Amino acid sequence: MELPSQPIYVMIPSPNESIESDRLLLRPICDTDAVALLAIRSRPEVAKTNYPKEPFKSVEQTREWMSSKVFLEGPADIIGRSFNFAILDKSIPESQEQLIGYVSVNTLDPCPEIGYSLLPESWGKGYATEAVGMMLKKWWDLPRRNMVEFNESEEKIYAICEKGNIGSSTVLRKCGFQVLSDFCFGSDELFIWALKKP
């Protein structure tokens, strides 16, 4: 898989602030979210469009995956930070589990690449499109570092999605992404999507 290469322009605050709309609250993921995230990643219909394709089996496995969202490469002020948000449905009473998904920038090297998943019960309500849009706005609003080679007009963010994943393709298209290229990874046929900094 050949992802584009892009310098790390952003400066990521620690901690990240929450983002809110009428329907959703996006807040930084924390360790206590592991059980709710397992409830999402353990679902076969979620696993089949993610990597790895096996449903998660334990909280420990979920915590391992959560820790993989922490940036380990790049400028010193990036190391140990993440851009990983829980998606909370504000229409669910606070006495119940409000966490219905997550949206994150998975990696910065070789380029910023996003990922997201929702509980199947929350599919088809526009939540993924809304959450990705909210996260992207926050991403583009982050301060940029002073770089000699900085070319703002070329800065992009990327996503990888299976060709057959119509739901995710629709989300990305609605958020302004365009297909950059396609490739095969094992038996999977995938699109690389790109979105230019507005």
The model's pLDDT over 74-130, given as tens digits with 9 standing for 90+, comes to 899 999 999 999 999 999 999 999 999 999 999 999 999 999 999 999 999 999 999
Q: Is the pLDDT of residue 140 over 90?
A: yes
Quote the Cα angle for 30-107-53, to 5°: 80
Q: Which amino acid is at 7?
A: P
Q: What is the pLDDT of residue 52?
A: 75
- Out of 50-64, 97-111, 142-156, 162-176, least confident range: 142-156
Q: What is the mean pLDDT of residues 174-184?
A: 92
Residue 198 lies in a domain: no
SS3 21: coil
Residue 43 lies in a domain: yes
Residue 60 lies in a domain: yes
Residue 167 lies in a domain: no
Q: What is the pLDDT of residue 127?
A: 98
Residue ranges making up the domain that contains 59: 19-151
Q: What is the mean pLDDT of residues 60-71?
A: 96
Residue 177 lies in a domain: no
Nearest to 23 by CA among 118, 104, 112, 110: 118
Q: What is the pLDDT of residue 189?
A: 86
CATH code of 39's domain: 3.40.630.30
Comparing 138 with 186, the larger pLDDT belongs to: 138
Q: Is the pLDDT of residue 139 over 90?
A: yes
SS (H, E, C) 62-88: HHHHHHCCCCCCCCCCCCCCCEEEEEE
Question: How far, in Å, are 111, 118, 185 from residue 3 at the CA level?
Answer: 7, 25, 12
Residue 76 lies in a domain: yes
In this prediction, residue 150 has a pLDDT band, given cuts at 50, 70 and 90, of low
pTM, two decimals, is 0.94
Q: What is the pLDDT of residue 154?
A: 83
Tens-digit pLDDT profile for residues 3-49: 889 989 999 998 899 999 999 999 999 999 999 999 999 999 999 88
Count of structural domains, the chain: 1
83 forms bridges with which residues in the sheet? 105
Comparing 15 with 185, the larger pLDDT belongs to: 15
Residue 82 lies in a domain: yes
